Chains A and B, each alone.
Chain A
């Protein structure tokens, strides 16, 4: 930490001598203090090196926001040819005061699934972005896009052509299919119960048309997690969550179990594994750890604590959940399980899954209101109606418990 502080001191001294491209930003400067990496230091360095007036305008406007505690960007429409989304338009509301912040549009760019990069891909993208835009990049936006922030409308098409030529495409915005998110999956995780990267890639590729041309009622987001640890945060953050799990028994390596107990003690096994099982499915029988797999809900806890001893079963697939979203309009909602188990091994499984997704999205677009997320539509018209509409079998896995009121139209 001392070293870092000293570096900052040195940087400040030298920049005080030769700068003056940026205007004073006393409030933002306070965000250069402290040990966590400062985005303000980063923007300043970039601005002083490249002398892009847009960056000076953005810093001036941000300082003004800090002083007045208000935002000053307005949205609008800026597009590349043939697309109806992917560019977020930003123009300043206070052009008289800060003319250099006149335009600060953003590209949403779809990264590779699970956010893997080669340095070549990233360096090329940086070079193109510095040539046409501000050089400021968010890695990553909350929906999972690379956000190239700050470009003028006149350069949009040329810049897009360059990044598109390099293999990148734009992400979604507005009432459209949005960019997907997937966890690290089989690339580097022993718990991945299906190929999250491949499914993300295939599904989003299939819906590419809907990413670029908003034609839904509202946004629709896919997230792909390889196991119920749900590292892509799909349940509360996506309209359609695909979570890997297994149908048979947890694989147990008894030698490793004994090693674990030897290393951590029986107390730890009882307190941290057995007692933490949500369905009391683990017990000690004659000193041996036994799992009642019939009663296991695949929560992942014991596998997380004992990664060498326990692994997911062999019969793997996904569970499909629908309708997660955050607060607006009618409050935050978690996804609801609508397909308890779906095999996801062969290419035909993927085709079948995409077919299912299509009928879910079609049902929503036929039955929802404008600006209604699918979770809200399901809540308004009923899960029963959703299942009938999409052609899914009702199952007890879809409810925490059966209904407690008699208000339904029974058959007679």
Chain B
């Protein structure tokens, strides 16, 4: 540290939110009565005091430059009294009590290339991860996959064309930082990892590398008189947990790291309980810069859902109603043997009944 420090760190924790709240929000804090969705991308909240607050929501690239953020601030200063907020799906929101500001804001947002939408029965933006741009263990990109998907779903973000809200996520490795979603795009490796015996002893804590494996496929060994590990290929199911713990156990591969698509994940408690997604397509190539094969699978799923889903029914709830057989028929996806669970609690996913559709 060559610069002399004059500042003593204040461990302040989360940023104080009081100075970040819009004055109408502050005034009606905890005293909101109801909300309406006047049109796609717009929310209208009414408070007990009679105050009305309009929100304009727009999609962002998430991977923002200071230039873009300053532009967002310009819009907020002009129309939203100098305040803005973000949603967990990387959308930006501007609030104003003045209805006439709404259309003006929509215009300015669209003029800087940001689509207004993501509210109500539509596709919202994708919860996603860092990928090749910044992560140390990714098998694919994050923002590029999202850009490719959302280009195809642009109209579905901006309009109410879905039976219910549709939430997407992408993940660049099997850790699945993107999380559960109606449709989740997750990397699936198809080969065991390769151990770099030369560097592993100096790179990783070997007991940790051994301990991280979900199926105990990693064992200590000695190679060329050096401490190392070996991978039991019969046990290994290519999850890549070891690579996260130890960079000398390389799992990523340009050909053998593929992409799987999972459907029916849901975080909300509305109607059905929160649910985990199920695998419905895999072995899709990791195909930059546009990932057309992944996009095609998403298109098939959403076309079927759009056609058959009922109001308020989430993707997984639609499948619960019509059954998996019908889902695979309607989407033209193929159910394969590998889609039968073979891990812990697998039996809870089997059909232990005489119920069957023909």
Contact = CB atoms under 8 A, between A and B. Distances in A.
A167 B177 CA distance: 28
Interface stretch (A229-237, A284-292, A360-368, A382-390): A229-237
**Could you say which of B45, B88, B151 has the most chain A C-beta atoms within 10 Å of its C-beta?**
B88
Interface stretch (B16-24, B96-104, B218-226, B324-332): B16-24
Contact of B289 (A31, A83, A208, A271): A31
**Could you say which of B10, B33, B67, B247 has the most chain A C-beta atoms within 10 Å of its C-beta?**
B67
Contact of B82 (A114, A119, A129): A119
B312 A66 contact: no
Given A42-B68, A115-B86, A201 B17 contact: yes
Q: Is the interface of B mostly helix, strand, loop or mixed?
A: loop
B109 to A, nearest CB: 10
B343 interface: yes
Interface string B226-262: 0000000000000101001101000010110100000
A137 B64 contact: yes
B134 A117 contact: no
A229 B270 contact: yes
Interface residues of B, number: 124
B284 interface: no
Contacts of B9: 80-83, 160-161, 164
B126 to A, nearest CB: 10
A183 B87 CA distance: 8
Given A71-B135, A118-B19, A157 B3 contact: yes
A167 B179 contact: no
Interface stretch (B139-147, B189-197, B296-304, B350-358): B139-147
Nearest to B87: A115
B280 interface: no
B65 interface: yes
Contacts of B138: 71
Contact of A371 (B15, B127, B174, B245): B245
A204 B13 contact: yes
Interface in A228-260: 228-237, 243
A300 B17 contact: no
B175 A326 contact: yes
Contacts of B244: 328
Contact of B5 (A130, A161, A179): A161
B133 A62 contact: yes
A387 to B, nearest CB: 21
Contacts of A135: 65-67
A272 B15 CA distance: 41
A237 B179 contact: yes
A139 B69 contact: yes
Contacts of B139: 71
Interface stretch (A12-20, A43-51, A346-354): A43-51
Nearest to B241: A328
Given A71-B132, A123-B73, A369-B211, A45 B84 contact: no
Nearest to B25: A187
B66 to A, nearest CB: 4
Contact of B14 (A111, A234, A278, A300): A111
A85 interface: no
A110 to B, nearest CB: 5
B136 interface: yes
Contact of A237 (B154, B267, B270): B267
Nearest to B262: A332
A164 B63 CA distance: 23
Interface in A362-380: 369-371
Contact of B34 (A27, A115, A169, A308): A308
A138 B35 contact: no
B134 A106 contact: yes
Nearest to A223: B88
Interface string A90-133: 10000000000000101000111111111111110011011000
Given A46-B65, A119-B76, A168 B86 contact: no
A191 to B, nearest CB: 9
B161 interface: no
B311 interface: yes
A336 B72 CA distance: 39
A386 B45 CA distance: 42
A39 interface: yes
B141 to A, nearest CB: 7
Interface string A196-217: 0100110011001101100000
Given A114-B17, A230-B268, A327-B174, A35 B154 contact: yes
Contact of B83 (A82, A116, A179): A116
A33 to B, nearest CB: 8
B323 interface: no
Given A157-B3, A165-B7, A329 B214 contact: yes
A47 B214 CA distance: 43
A115 B67 contact: no
A37 B272 contact: no
A52 B270 CA distance: 48
B106 to A, nearest CB: 13
Contacts of A271: 310-311
The 4 closest A-B pairs by CB, nearest first: A34-B151, A69-B254, A186-B30, A228-B269
Interface of B: 1-3, 5-7, 9-17, 19-22, 25, 29-36, 45, 53, 55, 59-70, 72-73, 76-77, 82-88, 90, 92, 95, 110-111, 113-115, 127-141, 143-144, 147-148, 150-151, 154, 174-180, 208, 211-214, 239, 241, 244-245, 247, 252, 254-255, 257, 265, 267-272, 274, 276, 286, 288-290, 310-312, 343-345
Given A35-B154, A36-B151, 17 more contacts: A7-B113, A27-B288, A30-B290, A37-B59, A68-B254, A71-B252, A74-B247, A116-B20, A116-B85, A126-B73, A136-B64, A142-B127, A142-B128, A157-B3, A167-B16, A236-B274, A328-B244
